[in-house]
Amino acid sequence: MATIGCFNKLKVTRCITAGIYVDGEQFGELKIPGWDVTGKAEKGDIIDVFMFLDSDNKPVATMRKPLAMPGEVALLKVAAVESDGALLEWGMPKPLWVPAGDQQQKMVRGFSYVIYVHLDPKSQRITGSTKLEKYLTVKPGGLRLNQEVELLVCDESDLGYRAVINNSGLGFLYNNDLFQKLKIGQKITGYIKNVREDGRVDLYLQKPGFEKIFDIGDQILAKIKASGGFLAVTDKTPAEEIYQLFATSKKNYKKAIGGLYKKGLVVLEEQGIRLVKK
């Protein structure tokens, strides 16, 4: 049985100049227009087909992958605004509908918003929402300290940024733990810094402990080698420049340099760091 809101393995029944037809099982034979055929498909082939319902509740089949699947969050652009909702671009032949009641604030055409995409179990329609807390918990369970997670930055405040954790929960990145400017909608790898007593989660972007310092040391050595054995970075180099080079704080950079120096891998000169020749 074919399922709305996900990819289905369907059989190609016909190939025509303007596209192909697939066996949509309980939905009958469905046409995929040529612009929605993203790979080679011959009669009898089993291909991956994404299915959703349009505004008339008719099934739509495509080989394209949406910018966000149901249960995922993404930054999407508003294509049109109507009195009862908005239409967003999400990489599909039909736009994604965001009802007015699911908008945290009234949407503006041409602007982009962080959207949670979901499948309504009753209507089987795929819609979006900017009311993230309606679908994502602020107290995600099952997370370990220092666990690596995938983040999507969803909004900013004076204290820092809120981020979606693994498409399932919400956490917070404090400014004093950041050494780079983040953008709304940016996807980035992060780590669990703290799970508070109330279940809320604090995040940070750098690997914890010795593993982090070890990785930074490897990066520094690689940079020095790529620069011909010398890198013009000293104690006086601004923290922002160090972050651009190594994606780490000046504090962690200095720890890593100290480790390389003790191992006899580098020498520290007035103008920078030099690789020890062996």
Question: How high is the pLDDT of residue 237?
Answer: 87
* pLDDT value at residue 210: 47
Instruction: Give me the pLDDT at residue 214, please.
Output: 55
Closest CA to 49 of 6, 92, 1, 94: 6
Residues 96 and 16: their CA atoms lie apart, in Å, by 28
94, 102 Cβ separation under 8 angstroms:
no
Q: Report which DSSP code applies to 43.
A: T
- In 209-263, DSSP assigns E strands to 230-231
Structure tokens at 122: 């009753």
Closest CA to 113 of 188, 187, 184, 166: 184
Look at residue 220 and tell me whether its pLDDT is greater than 70: yes
Domains in the chain, CATH or no CATH each: 7-62 (2.40.50), 73-134 (2.40.50.140), 148-204 (2.40.50.140), 210-275 (1.10.10.10)
Q: Say if residue 105's pLDDT is above 90.
A: yes
Mean of pLDDT values over 71-86: 97
pLDDT at 227: 87
* Residue 89 clears pLDDT 90, i.e. is over it: yes
| Ramachandran class of 195: left when φ > 0, alpha when ψ lies in -120 to 50, beta otherwise | beta
Mean pLDDT across the stretch 58-79? 96
pLDDT value at 123 more than 50: yes
Judged by average pLDDT, the poorest of 18-27, 60-69, 221-230 is 221-230
Residue 90 has pLDDT above 90, yes or no: yes
Q: Is there a contact between 213 and 151 (Cβ–Cβ < 8 Å)?
A: no
Would you state the pLDDT for residue 226? 86
The predicted structure's pLDDT at residue 212:
56
β-strand 272-275 against 266-269: which pairing, if any? antiparallel
Q: Which residues pair with 99 in a beta bridge?
A: 85
Asked if the model's pLDDT at residue 108 lies above 90, the reply is yes
Mean pLDDT of 39-62: 93
To the nearest whole percent, how much of the chain has pLDDT over 90?
65
Tell me what the mean pLDDT of segment 4-10 comes to.
96
Alpha-carbon gap, residue 16 to 83, rounded angstroms = 39
- Average pLDDT (22-33) is 95
Report the pLDDT value the prediction gives residue 118, as an integer from 0 to 100: 96
Distance CA 256, CA 259 (A): 5
Q: What is the pLDDT of residue 117?
A: 97
Confidence of residue 60 (pLDDT cuts 50, 70, 90): very high
Distances (CA, A) of 132 to 25, 34, 48, 122, 246: 34, 35, 30, 20, 33
Contact present, 24 and 58 (Cβ < 8 Å) = no
162 - beta bridge partners?
Answer: 155, 172
CA distances from 194 to 92, 171, 191, 198, 222 (A): 38, 10, 9, 11, 32
Look at residue 151 in the predicted model and tell me its pLDDT.
Answer: 97
Indicate the average pLDDT of the chain: 91
Tens digits of per-residue pLDDT, 203-213? 988 776 545 55
